[in-house]
Amino acid sequence: MSAVTTPARQATGGVNIKTINRIVIYGLLALFALFYLMPLFVMLVTSFKTMDEIQNGNMLALPKAPTFDPWLKAWGETCVGLTCAGIKGYFWNSIKMVVPAVLISTMLGALNGYVLTKWRFRGATLVFGLMLFACFIPFQSVLLPMATILGSVGRFGVTLQNSIGTNFGLGNSTVNLVFVHVVYGIGFTTLFFRNYYEAFPTELVKAAQVDGASFFQIFRRIMLPNSMPIFVVTVIYQFTNIWNDFLFASAYAGTGDAMPMTVALNNVVNTSTGVVEYNVNMAAAMIAALPTLLVYVLAGRYFVRGLMAGAVKG
Amino acid sequence: MSTVATSQIKLTPEHARPRASVRSRLQDALPKIVLAPSFAITIVFVYGFILWTIYLSFTNSKTFPSYVITGWRAYQRLWGWTFDTDPPSSWYTSITNMGIFGFLYILICLALGLFLAILLDQKIRGEGMLRPIYLYPMALSFIVTGVAWKWFLDPGLGLEQTLHQWGWTSFHFDWIKNKDFVIYTVVIAGVWQASGFIMAMFLAGLRGIDGEIMKAAQIDGATTFQLYRRIVIPLLRPIFLSAFIVLAHLAIKSYDLVVALTSGGPGGSAWLPSNFMYEYTFKRNEMAVGSASAVIMLMTIVAIIVPYLYSELREKPR
């Protein structure tokens, strides 16, 4: 008897509890969505307000008379340190640094991953382990020696410049940063490609070898055409990391014209001279965030996969 | 058997023609030649530089590196500062902050990440929209995060001001300018940035759990709460470990967020060891002390990462 009534009772009482449960769950999820969106929202609306409205109005209110001026000012006029030519130059600095650094580190990672999985040799795991650990070191432990080396290379560049008229890019801050990001990026790119190629059928490589294909032919004709997803993941991961880097940028290009975007943004915001123009600051922050946000919106799936691959060895 | 094998080898063209042997040996070495530059770079610029930093920490380098070993002086000074609480030394502040920040950041990110993942796993309509909203902060740089939260938490313009305008005039929130509380604002911004990613990790873990186990437990009469406490969460153990490693690693390396959000806080009260290292090495001309603090940071990471990597690399023996 009880066996029949109990499920029935549960069903009638269950409907209400279930509805309440659903409401609570959706409510909580919406609340957290607000928490995550709030700073971006505030940043965005502030960047379209006039200073007058910021000082007298509400942070969360939409701009009454939206103006694009703060964005234009941030891009072309605002002061970074003592130069007042906007952040556009620094934006391009970041691009000039990011593109080569991403391409070089990704290509090296692909080759390394290929060797480590398809041309295994004694000690391959040790080699990989050493490269992998390099991903995790706090960069503070290499910051100073690298500064010393880059300093000497810079002085050598000046000598070359004086004697033969060209320094081959030695001592150029952007070149330095590209080098630094490649050096400390190959650990991750190798990790990504190694884990991806690990699952790639070795029989295909063996078969091509038997047919007389060389090391590079196999790489170009067999591995590369099948590596699109991991290329996207790696490029996005590297792009985000290098674009967002601040430590290396401030240590090796913290002053002067080669400053990348993150350092410039920090300088804009922490400038102590004159009235602080919050709307311009927020517009500058948005400009600094746009490239990575854009990548995230366009290829979010790959972005998450990259983060996961960096977190959990596959 | 072995004779047959040898004769077969002799038949292959490379071994038949001795002139090709240099080329074939080159072919054999090619993979190693390709890997060599990357490996050499790692050895020199990672391990070599680490040794260099360790060396510097045993000298009395000030503004410029000096290469005369003077012993444990830098470490002794750090050790002395560790107990220098009145007034607190910069090092004491940094490591205390590291403890507070590391503990709260990891704990809240794990709890919030798991909580959100479980909520999202309840067959939610609109999950595809919510997930990216929770996760996007991870795509931002710490500098942008810092700038945004600095504005949001500013007592004169941000949250406090807004609530005053809405009529809650007694609301008071000036942590970002208060030397005793500024580190907690770093926790808030840090959690905001990373918790979505931890959510994604847990969600991936939850989706990987065999539905049959859940069904069986439900048939046995387990409540939802019991189901999660007794079955799901224990099954997520590897995710907890990975997430912990990621967060601990992020916490120890945190530098940019403190700079952008607090500019170091009033009197350096928001410093983490990474900020301490940077300031002492590049601004206060105490290179040896800066190097010693970098070595301590490295040792902390080694203690966390090496056992983890070792077990991960050993799991799949070849």
Domain limits, chain A = 73-311
Measured from the Cβ of residue B275, the count of other Cβ atoms closer than 10 Å reads 26
Please determine, for residue B49, whether its predicted confidence score (pLDDT) is greater than 90: yes
Query: What pLDDT is stored for residue A14 in this prediction?
Result: 57
Query: What pLDDT is stored for residue A313 in this prediction?
Result: 44
- Considering its fold, how many domains does chain B have in total? 2
Residues B78 and B52 in one domain: no
Nearest to A105 by CA among A237, A195, A220, A251: A237
Residues B157 and B282 in one domain: yes
In whole angstroms, what is the distance from residue A196 CA to residue A188 CA? 12
- Choose the closest CB to B162 out of A59, A139, A262: A59
- What is the pLDDT confidence band of residue B1, given thresholds at 50, 70 and 90? very low
Tokens of A127: 């080699």
Residues B118 and B227 in one domain: yes
Which CA distances in Å does B164 have to A37, A73, B177? 22, 31, 18
- What is the pLDDT confidence band of residue A108, given thresholds at 50, 70 and 90? very high
* Mean residue pLDDT across chain B: 84
Rama region for A83: left / alpha / beta (φ>0; ψ in -120 to 50; rest): beta
Residues B23 and B152 in one domain: no
Residues B80 and B21 in one domain: no
> Which residue has tokens 């004169």?
B156
CA distance B274 to chain A (A): 7
Contacts 24+ apart (CB under 8 A), A48-56: A48/A279, A49/A279, A50/A279, A51/A275, A51/A277, A51/A278, A51/A279, A54/A278, A54/A279, A54/B157, A55/B157
- Cross-strand partners of A83: A80
Which CA distances in Å does B161 have to A54, A59, B138, B177? 11, 8, 28, 15
CB A281 within 8 A of CB A39: no
Residues B39 and B96 in one domain: no
* Residue in chain A nearest B162 by alpha carbon: A58
| Residue B141 touches partner A, C-beta closer than 8 Å | yes
Query: What pLDDT is stored for residue B8 in this prediction?
Result: 41
Please determine, for residue A10, whether its predicted confidence score (pLDDT) is greater than 80: no
Query: What pLDDT is stored for residue B103 in this prediction?
Result: 95
Average pLDDT over residues B262-287: 88
CB A194 within 8 A of CB A128: yes
Tokens of B198: 């931890």
CB A147 within 8 A of CB A176: no
Percent of chain B surpassing pLDDT 90: 33
Q: Using a CB-CB distance cutoff of 8 angstroms, which residues of chain A are in contact with residue B165?
A: 58
Query: What pLDDT is stored for residue B47 in this prediction?
Result: 95
Looking at per-residue pLDDT, the higher value among B8 and B33 belongs to B33
Residues B273 and B223 in one domain: yes
Residues B91 and B31 in one domain: no
CB B281 within 8 A of CB A144: yes
Tokens of B90: 């910069």
Residues B51 and B90 in one domain: no
B57, B86, B102: which is the final residue of a domain? B57
Residues B20 and B126 in one domain: no
The CA-CA-CA angle for residues A139, A143, A144, to 5°, reads: 150
User: Cβ of B197 and A307 within 8 Å?
Assistant: yes
Does some domain include residue B62?
no
- Is B130 buried (19+), middle (13-18) or exposed (0-12) by CB count in 10 A? buried
* End-to-end CA gap in chain B: 27
Q: Using a CB-CB distance cutoff of 8 angstroms, which residues of chain A are in contact with residue B287?
A: 144
* Residue in chain B nearest A246 by alpha carbon: B256
Query: What pLDDT is stored for residue B22 in this prediction?
Result: 79
Q: Using a CB-CB distance cutoff of 8 angstroms, which residues of chain A are in contact with residue B318?
A: 120, 125
**CATH number for the segment(s) A73-311:** 1.10.3720.10
> Which domain, by its residues, includes B271?
73-315
In whole angstroms, what is the distance from residue B188 CA to residue B191 CA? 5
- What is the pLDDT confidence band of residue B19, given thresholds at 50, 70 and 90? low
Average pLDDT over residues A248-276: 84
Percent of chain B surpassing pLDDT 70: 92
Q: Using a CB-CB distance cutoff of 8 angstroms, which residues of chain B are in contact with residue A293?
A: 136, 139-140
List pLDDT tens digits, range B83-130.
Answer: 877 788 888 989 999 999 999 999 999 999 999 999 998 888 888 889
Please determine, for residue A258, whether its predicted confidence score (pLDDT) is greater than 50: yes
Nearest to A262 by CA among A228, A288, A284, A239: A288
Query: What pLDDT is stored for residue A36 in this prediction?
Result: 94
Radius of gyration in angstroms for the set of CA atoms belonging to chain A, rounded to a whole number: 26
In whole angstroms, what is the distance from residue A138 CA to residue B274 CA? 9
Residues B46 and B151 in one domain: no
